[in-house]
Structure 1
Amino acid sequence: MAVSLRRKREAPRGRYTPNLWPVWIVGPLALIAASALGWVIYHYAYDHFAQAAANQQPPKPVDINDVLKATVTALTLVGAVLAGLYAYRKQLLAEGDAHRADASQLAERYTTAAEQLGHDQAAVRLAGVYALARLADDWAEQRQVCIDVLCAYLRMPYEPDHTAQGHKAGEREVRQTIIRVIRDHLQDPEARTAWCRNNFNFTGAVFDGGSFSDSHFRGTVYFVGARFAGGTVDFDRATFSRGTVSFADATFSGGTVTFRLSTFSGGTVYFDRATFSGGTVTFRLSTFSGGAVSFVGATFSGGEVSFLNATFSGGTVYFDEATFSSTASFFNATFSGGRVNFGDATVTDGMVDFGDATFSGGTVDFRGATVNGGTVGFRDATFCGSTVIFGAAFFGGTVNFGAAFLGGTVNFGDAMFGGGTVDFGDAMFGGTVFDWGPLPVPAGA
C-alpha cells in the first residue's frame, strides 16, 4: 500500500487516472475487513448490553436480538459512508475522462493551428494566427506556449521590401495581425484572457510597423537585436508598471518608435547599445514617475530621440556612455524629481536640447561627459530647484545657458575646457547656487 501511495504522489502532472488496485486483491481484503469490523461491533454491542442488563434489578439476560440490531445498524451506517466514498471515486474517474477529452481536444487544436501557421498561403496563416490566439484564451495552462509560437513566427526571417528576393506575398499582413492580436490581449490587465503578465520574445525580429498602443506591460518583453527598418511601431499611452521591455542592441535605421503619453511608473525600458542611424524614438508627453529608461552605450548617428513635453517626477533616464552625433530633445520637459544621467557621454556633431525645460527638483548629471563639436542647449529653460552637474566634463563644443536661474544648483567643478564655448547670453540669475569651477563668472551672476 505504501508503494501504491508513493506512485500516486509521483504521478506526472496532468495525469487524471487514479491508481486502482486489482479486484482480486480488493475483493478478499474488503470481505476480511467487513467481517472483522462486524465482529468488533458485535462484541462491543454485546458488552454494552450485557453491562446494562447486569445493572438492572433483578438482573436480566442479554437480548441477542438487540445486539444483532445494533450491529446491523452500525454496519449499515459504515456501508453508507463507503457508498458515498465509492460515488466520489466514480466522480473522480468521470472528471478524469472529461479532463483527458479536453486535453486531447486542445492538443489537436494546437497541432492544427501550428500547421496553419506554416502553410504557404497567407490566408491560411492568418487563420492559424486567430486559431492560436483563441487557443491561448481557452488553455490557460499552455497560454505561454501559444504566445511563444506567435513570437517565434515574428522572429523568422522576413524581407519587408516587396521587390526584394525572398519577400513572401501577404507576409506583412500576417505579421501585423499577430502584433494586433497581442495588443488586443494587453488592454485590460484584469480581464480573464489578459496576456499582460506573460512574456514576449521578439529577439532579432524585423519590424516595419505595428501598434502596441494602450497596452499594459507587466511581464518581460524582448526586442533585443530587433531591426526597425521602416513604418511606425507605437507604444502610445502604454503603461509600464512592473514589466521590463528591452530594445538592447536594436537597430533603428528608418522607422519610428513612439511612446507618446506613455506612463513609466515602475517598469524598465532598455535601449542599451542600440543604434539610431535614421529612425526616430519619441517619448512626447510621457510621464516618468518611478520607472527607468536606459540608453547606456547607445549610438545616435542620424536618428532622433525626443522627450518633448515629457514629465520626470521620479523616474530615471540613463544616457551614460552614449554617443550623440544627432539630436536628443528634452524641449519643454519638466523635471520635478526625476534624474537624467549623461555620465561619460560624448556629444560630437549632435545636440542635446533642454530648451524651455523646467527644472524644479530633478537632477541632470553630465559628469565625465565630453562635448566636442556638438551642442548642449538650455535656452529659455527655467532652474528653480533642481541640480545640474558638469563635474569633470570636457567642453570642446557649445553649451548654451540662455536660461532663467531662480533656484537649485549648477555645478561646473573639475570641468575642463578645450576650446569650447559656454554661453550665458540672455540668462537671468535670481537665486541659483553655482559652483563655477574653472569657468569665468558671467556678468550678472
Structure 2
Amino acid sequence: MFLYKRRPKQLGRHTPNLWPVWLVAPLALILVGAVAYGLYQGADALLRAENTGRKPVPVQDVIKTTVTVLTLVGAVLAGMYAYRKQLLDEGASHRADAAQLAERYTTAAEQLGHDQAAVRLAGAHAMARLADDWPEQRQVCIDVLCAYLRMHYEPDSSTAGFKTGEREVRLTITRIIRDHLQDPTAATTWCGCDLDFTGAVFDGGDFRDSRFSGGRVNFSGATFSGSGVHFIRSTFSGGMVFFTGATFSGGMVSFARSTFSGSEVYFTRATFSGGMVSFTGATFSGGMVSFAESAFSGSEILFRDSTLSGSEVRFLGLRVDGAAFIDWGPFPAIPDNQH
C-alpha cells in the first residue's frame, strides 16, 4: 500500500509544509463528491420525513437544499484556500526578511574587516543594530563583536602592527556591549548572552552599571593595561564570570560598588602587577569569588567598605610580593610574602 510521507520540517524554513497538489486535488474531488451525495440523501430523507402523508417531495427541492449546503461548504473551502495563500505570502515575506538580514550581516562583517578605522566603526554599529533586529541570531552578532576584541592588538604606537584609530574602534565596541547590558528587561538586552573576551587586550574600557546575569562571561587570559577599565556599580548575578589567568598591569581596574550575588566569579591564577584594582564598597553576597593561586606584585588591592554576607571569597594559594593591601574591610589582612 502506498503511503505518502510528509517531508520533515527544516529549521530556518519559512514556507508552510503543505501537502502536494497531485495528492490533495483527487482527495478533494472524492471528498466533495461524497459530501454532495451524502447531503443529497440527507436532504431527501429530511424533506420526506417532514412531508409524511403528503405528495412526494419534488426533486427540485432536494437539489435546491443540497446546492445551498454545498454553497456553504464551498465558502468554507474558499476561506481555507485564502488562509493557505496567506501562509504562502507570509512565508515569502519571512524569506525576504531573512535574506535582507543575512545581507546586512555580510555587509557589517566586511566593514569590520576594512583597513580604515572609520569604516570599522560603522561596521561595529551596524552589527549591533543587526543584533537588535535579529533576535534569532543575536548571539552570532555578539560573537562577532567579541571576536573583534580578541584579535591581535598593539596599543603602543611605536610597535609594528599598530593601527591608527584601532583603540577608538575597540572602545566603541566596549561601549556598545555595555549599553546593551544595562536593562535585562529591555527587548534588545544582551544580558544572559555569552560574552567571550578570552585573551583580549583592554587598553581602557567602560563596563560601568553593566548587569552580567546568566550566560557565560569569559575574560580568561585578557590583559587590562593602560588607562582605567571600569566595572563600577556592575552586577554579577547568576551565571559564571571568568578572569582566569587575566593580567592586570598598570592603570586602574575598578569594581567599586559592584555587587557579586549568586554568581561564580573566578580570578584564579590572575596576575596583578602595578596599578590598582579596587573593590571599594563592593558587596559579596550569596555567591563565590575566587582569587586562588593569583599573584599580586607591586599593586594595590582595595576592599575599603566592602561587605561580605553569605558569600565565599577564596584566597587559597595566593602569592603576594610587595603588594599593598589597603582597608580590607571585613576580610582578614593577608601578610606579605604569603604562599
Q: Same fold (TM over 0.5)?
A: yes
What does residue 220 of structure 1 align with? 216
Code of the aligned partner of 2:211: H
> Please, which of 242, 245, 249 is the counterpart of residue 249 of structure 1?
245
SS in 1 for 2:51: helix
What does residue 298 of structure 2 align with? 302
CA contact (8 A) 1:208 1:255 kept: no
Q: Quickly say closer, same or farther: Cα 1:19–1:309, change in 2 above 3 A.
A: closer
CA contact (8 A) 2:290 2:314 kept: yes
CA distance in 1, matches of 2:332, 2:188: 39
Q: CA deviation at 1:327?
A: 3.5
Q: CA deviation at 1:23?
A: 4.2
CA distance in 2, matches of 1:244, 1:188: 19
Q: Quickly say closer, same or farther: Cα 1:330–1:229, change in 2 above 3 A.
A: closer
CA distance in 1, matches of 2:322, 2:110: 46
SS in 2 for 1:208: strand
* Map 1:160-309 → 2, pairs under 5 A: 160-218=155-213, 219-309=215-305
SS in 1 for 2:226: coil
CA contact (8 A) 2:276 2:301 kept: yes
CA distance in 2, matches of 1:294, 1:2: 62
Q: CA deviation at 1:304?
A: 2.6
- In the alignment, structure 2 segments of 5+ residues that lack a partner are none
Q: CA deviation at 1:33?
A: 2.1
CA contact (8 A) 1:4 1:19 kept: no
Deviations 1:310-337 (A, max 9, x none): 111222211112112244636262x4xx
Deviations 1:373-411 (A, max 9, x none): xxxxxxxxxxxxxxxxxxxxxxxxxxxxxxxxxxxxxxx
CA distance in 2, matches of 1:40, 1:71: 9
SS in 2 for 1:187: coil
What does residue 316 of structure 2 align with? 320
1:52 is the counterpart of 2:47: no
Q: CA deviation at 1:213?
A: 0.2
What does residue 16 of structure 1 align with? 14
CA distance in 2, matches of 1:137, 1:279: 37
* Identity across matched positions, percent: 60
SS in 2 for 1:221: strand
> Please, which of 108, 112, 117 is the counterpart of residue 117 of structure 1?
112
Q: CA deviation at 1:172?
A: 0.6
CA contact (8 A) 1:299 1:322 kept: yes
CA contact (8 A) 2:300 2:326 kept: no
SS in 2 for 1:45: helix
SS in 2 for 1:207: strand
Code of the aligned partner of 2:132: D
Alpha carbon RMSD of aligned pairs, Å?
A: 2.1
CA contact (8 A) 1:212 1:233 kept: yes
1:67 is the counterpart of 2:62: yes
Structure 1 moving runs of 4+ over 6 Å: none
- Of the two structures, which has the highest relative contact order with CA contacts closer than 8 Å and spacing of 6 or more? 2
SS in 2 for 1:230: strand
CA contact (8 A) 2:175 2:207 kept: yes
TM-score scaled to structure 1, two decimals? 0.71
Deviations 1:277-300 (A, max 9, x none): 224221101112223211011111
CA contact (8 A) 1:188 1:194 kept: yes
Deviations 1:1-23 (A, max 9, x none): 96443x1xx22112112344554
CA distance in 2, matches of 1:233, 1:135: 27
Larger radius of gyration: 1
What does residue 29 of structure 1 align with? 27
Code of the aligned partner of 1:274: A
What does residue 432 of structure 1 align with? none
CA distance in 2, matches of 1:275, 1:2: 67
CA contact (8 A) 1:235 1:257 kept: yes
CA distance in 1, matches of 2:324, 2:309: 19
Going by fraction, where is helix more abundant, 1 or 2? Answer: 2
CA distance in 2, matches of 1:201, 1:75: 64
CA distance in 1, matches of 2:114, 2:190: 26
What does residue 127 of structure 2 align with? 132
Code of the aligned partner of 2:252: T
Number of positions where the alignment pairs a residue of Structure 1 with one of Structure 2:
337
31-40 vs 81-90, which moves further: 31-40
SS in 2 for 1:103: helix
Q: Quickly say closer, same or farther: Cα 1:263–1:232, change in 2 above 3 A.
A: same
Deviations 1:338-368 (A, max 9, x none): xx699xxx8553xxxxxxxxxxxxxxxxxxx
Deviations 1:402-441 (A, max 9, x none): xxxxxxxxxxxxxxxxxxxxxxxxxxxxxxxxxxxxxxxx
188-197 vs 44-53, which moves further: 44-53
Code of the aligned partner of 1:275: T
CA distance in 1, matches of 2:270, 2:293: 7
> Please, which of 60, 80, 85 is the counterpart of residue 90 of structure 1?
85
Q: CA deviation at 1:159?
A: 0.8
Deviations 1:106-148 (A, max 9, x none): 0000000000000011111011000001111111110100000
SS in 2 for 1:229: strand
Q: Quickly say closer, same or farther: Cα 1:167–1:15, change in 2 above 3 A.
A: same
